[in-house]
Structure formats: C-alpha cells, structure tokens
Amino acid sequence: MTTSYPVSSSRPFDYPRPMSALHCGKVSLEALARRYGTPLYVYSADQIVERLAMFQRALAGRDYLVCYAVKANSALAILKLLAARGAGFDIVSGGELERVLAAAPEAAGRVVFSGVGKTAAEIDLALEAGILEFNVESEPELELLARRAQKLKRKARFALRVNPDVFAETHPYISTGLREHKFGIDIRRAPAIYKSAARHRWLEAHGASVHIGSQIRSAEPFGSAIERVSRLARLLAREGIVLKAIDAGGGLGIDYHSGEFDAEAHVRGYASAIETALGDFEGRLLLEPGRFIVAQAGALLARVLHVKRNGKKTFVVVDAAMNDLIRPALYQAHHEIVPVCWRPGRERVVDVVGPVCETGDFFARDRKLAPVEPGDLLALLDAGAYGMAQSSNYNTRPRAAEALVEGGKARLIRRRETMADLLAPEMI
Ligand SMILES: *Cc1c(COP(=O)(O)O)cnc(C)c1O
C-alpha cells in the first residue's frame, strides 16, 4: 500500500497515471536526468507564460506593466520568454541589467531599477540603456542620480521607493515595509524630496513605488500600502507634480505545500485590492512579481546517494545540497519532495540532506517519504524562484544545469559548471 502523493494540478509536474513516473508536461524527468545529469533544475515554459498571463488578464482594461523581478530567476532563456510576451523587468543590480540587455535588448525601456546601494557605474549603465524608471531608496542616492544624469546629459525618470510602514506577515528576512527596515524613504519625508527634485533639470518625478516584502499570502497589506502611496500621489498632484506611474512592487506568495492552489484567484484578489486602493489614480500601474511567476514552474532533481541510519533517524543523502537550493537552510522554507519513480512499500519518516559539511544542509526534516533506494531520483518541487538564483559554489561544488521544457520538448538552458569554470578566476 502506498499513499499517493498529491501533486496538485496547479503545478506543471505530475504523474500521468497512479504509480507512474513524474513528468513535466510530456517530458519524463528520469529521461532528462539521464541526459543532463543531476542536480538538475527543470522549468516549465508553459507555466511561466501562464503565470504572466494571469497578471495580464487581471489588469486588462487599465494601463499597466508587469516588471518581472529578475532576482527570482535570472536565466537568460526565461527573461527572453517573458520579454517576448510583453513583460518588463525589475532589476536590483547592473549585472541584472546586463542580463536583460543580453536576453532581450528591446526590453530596456521596460526596466525599473530597485535596490538600496546603486553605484555610479550601475546608474550610468542604466541611464545609457534608457530604462523606464529608477526606484530611488534614499536622498543621497537621488543626489547621485542627479549628478550622473547631468554628467551624461540623460534625463533620469525616478520614483521614490517609499516605506509605507505596513506590516506583512512573512519571514522576517523577507519583510521590508516597516520603518525599521533598510528599504525605502519614510513616506512622510517624500513630498519635500519630490518638491526639491522637481527643480532639477535632469530629474523627472515619474512615479512612486513600494515593495513591502516577499511570500505575502494575503492581499490586504498590498491594499494598505497602495492606499498610502495613492494618497501621496494625490497630495503631489495638488502641488503640480503629476506622477505617471505607481509601482506596487512584488511579493505575492504561493503555496509551498501540496494541495490545490488557485493561482488565478490569488492574482485576481491581489489585483483588485490594488486597483481599489489606487482609487482615481489615472497613471500606469507597475507590478514586480518574481516568485509568483517562476516558483511553481521549477523543480530541482536530485539522485539519492545513500540511505543512512543513525539510531532512530533515517537520512536520505542526495546529490543536491544547500549550495543548489538554500531556501530550507536560510528561511526554514518547506519544499514538497516526491519520488520521480514509485517503489511499492510503506512511507518512512526521514531527513533529506545534502553532502555539504553543515548541519543546516537539509531539504526536509522528519518528513514522510515513500521508500527510496540509492540511485532513485527525487524532485524538490516549487524550486523555480530563489533556487538557482541563490546558488553558490560552496564546498567547491559546480553549479547545477538547467533545462527548460517548452511545447513537449526539453532543452538545456545552462550547462553544468565544470571544475575549469570554478578554477578559472584564481591565481596561485
Ligand atoms: C525581491 C523584489 C521583488 C520580487 O519579490 P517576489 O516576492 O519574488 O515577488 C520585487 N521588487 C523588489 C524591489 C524586490 O526587492
């Protein structure tokens, strides 16, 4: 007797029949793992495109731009896929801008640049590329932007990223909307800053932005934040500063546990809370979703190396580790783990761990798992966001390969790193 693993229909990874092998669309994951090796990230292009389309449907009828947050998953192939369907991008470094320019140079005018520590070189790069908007997080940054814009004779469209002092229920490391956080400018200071910037020849007060955190599951805090921003926009309009855009940031969360998840309903609820809060604001709405677009489109495949017993505990040691997917170690995050091929027998309570020399190198603790043997393939689900993007070479482990499944076909979008790649920058 085997308990069936509920892999919900909202995920692109599924078993075509009970007791069959896990697939991504028509593509067998076992076949992919044989072809490209493990650890391997696999993404569904269809799912990524469908998630973007959910935002597009929810906002149809108003002026909007979905700026995908590149930091969630910055694979060039994914950026290109999204750009081709009209997405813009939210970047947080000059490196991410270089990625957008490499994957979809035509999208440069749809880029917003966030982040608390932009350098002069990064600002110059973005001014030259003609990005849509700089989301400015402090007065010294605005002064630097003004100096660079003047020097390059390029007008800088800016938005102040205001801190709305809204609390959003999420992990403390990814909550950003409180006054005590390092992000944004106190919303009470914003009007004075807009007024003084309005006098600068090379600055254009283009918008106002907020980003209150990540993996936020309820629409309500987004509504509260946007209410405060639209109040600011009304106040500025009365002073003659008419903003063209309000940027609501990213942060919409997903369900990392198994079971049904109505993604479309979530996006609709989120969009409607924001639209209500915008009131009579007639400008453009910018959104910066990252996780919601890519998280559930991705899985990390890992081979079982050993099944090891220490007293009462059973450890399933796999060939992926915290350097490939750090979310469990960093945020105590939950990822569903399912066997790619079934073995009959009873579930056991196990820890799923990687080979890295850290006790924090685990993917699951005290988790019920179907029987597995060395050589079996496991899939860590919902790993498309903040997985590969946060990977490292810790323990001198080459980074994983990445494959994209599109229209029933899979292709490699990043080859596995080699030892030569790792050693190349070093000198003895
Ligand atoms: C990280 C980040 C996002 C994306 O957040 P998600 O939770 O992945 O949607 C959007 N905007 C800014 C400014 C960010 O820092």
Q: Looking at the CA of residue 72, tell me the nearest atom of ligand 1.
A: 8
Q: Looking at the CA of residue 253, tell me the nearest atom of ligand 1.
A: 7
**What pLDDT was estimated at residue 2?**
38
- Quickly state the pLDDT bin for 117 (edges 50, 70, 90): very high
Q: Compute the distance between CA of residue 360 and CA of residue 323 in angstroms, rounded to an integer.
A: 11
Distance 380 CA to ligand 1 centre (A): 22
Q: Looking at the CA of residue 252, tell me the nearest atom of ligand 1.
A: 9
Domain 114-289: CATH superfamily is Alanine racemase (3.20.20.10)
- Give one DSSP letter per residue of 36-79, joined into a string: H-SSEEEEEHHHHHHHHHHHHHHHTTS-EEEEEEGGG---HHHH
Cβ neighbours of residue 224 under 8 Å, at least 6 residues apart?
A: 164, 166, 277
Ligand 1, CB cutoff 6 Å, lining residues = 69, 71-72, 90, 92, 114, 211, 214, 249-252, 288-292
Distance 254 CA to ligand 1 centre (A): 13
Q: Is the whole-model pTM more than 0.85?
A: yes
Q: Is 402 helix (H, G, I), strand (E, B) or coil?
A: strand
**Summary mean pLDDT of the chain:** 94
Q: Compute the distance between CA of residue 327 and CA of residue 354 in angstroms, rounded to an integer.
A: 13
pLDDT above 80 for 167 = no
What are residue 53's phi and psi, to 5 degrees? -60, -30
- Catalytic residue numbers? 357
pLDDT above 50 for 162 = yes
Where would I find the H helices in 254-342? 263-278, 291-294, 327-331
Above pLDDT 90, what percent of the chain? 88
pLDDT above 90 for 172 = no
Mean pLDDT of the region 210-238: 96
**What pLDDT was estimated at residue 3?**
41
Query: Best of 163, 288, 386 to mutate for ligand 1, by most ligand atoms within 8 A of CB?
Result: 288
Q: Looking at the CA of residue 213, tell me the nearest atom of ligand 1.
A: 7
Distance 211 CA to ligand 1 centre (A): 7
Distance 397 CA to ligand 1 centre (A): 28
| pLDDT tens per residue across span 46-103 | 999 999 999 999 999 999 999 999 999 999 999 999 999 999 999 999 999 999 999 9
Closest C-alpha to ligand 1, atom 10: 250
Distance 250 CA to ligand 1 centre (A): 4
Q: Looking at the CA of residue 385, tell me the nearest atom of ligand 1.
A: 8
Six-digit token string for 331 = 């945020």
**What pLDDT was estimated at residue 407?**
86
Distance 212 CA to ligand 1 centre (A): 9
**What pLDDT was estimated at residue 261?**
87
What is the fold, at CATH topology level, of the domain defined by 13-44+296-423? Lyase, Ornithine Decarboxylase; Chain A, domain 1 (2.40.37)
Among 267, 181, 270, CA closest to 223: 270
**What pLDDT was estimated at residue 5?**
53
Helix pair 120-129, 139-152: axis angle to 10 deg? 50
Which amino acid is present at 4?
A: S
- Quickly state the pLDDT bin for 208 (edges 50, 70, 90): very high
| pLDDT tens per residue across span 286-345 | 999 999 999 999 999 999 999 999 999 999 999 999 999 999 999 999 999 999 999 999
Among 143, 105, 150, CA closest to 127: 150
Query: Best of 214, 254, 267, 270 to mutate for ligand 1, by most ligand atoms within 8 A of CB?
Result: 214
Q: Looking at the CA of residue 176, tell me the nearest atom of ligand 1.
A: 15
Which amino acid is present at 407?
A: G
pLDDT above 50 for 136 = yes
| pLDDT tens per residue across span 374-411 | 999 999 999 999 999 999 999 999 999 999 999 899 99
Distance 416 CA to ligand 1 centre (A): 27
- Give one DSSP letter per residue of 132-185, joined into a string: SEEEE-SHHHHHHHHHHHHHHT--EEEEEEEE------S-GGGB--STTSSSSE
pLDDT above 50 for 1 = no
- Quickly state the pLDDT bin for 10 (edges 50, 70, 90): low
Cβ neighbours of residue 153 under 8 Å, at least 6 residues apart?
A: 202
Above pLDDT 70, what percent of the chain? 96
Helix pair 76-84, 94-103: axis angle to 10 deg? 60
Where in the chain are the domains?
A: 13-44+296-423, 114-289
Closest C-alpha to ligand 1, atom 3: 250
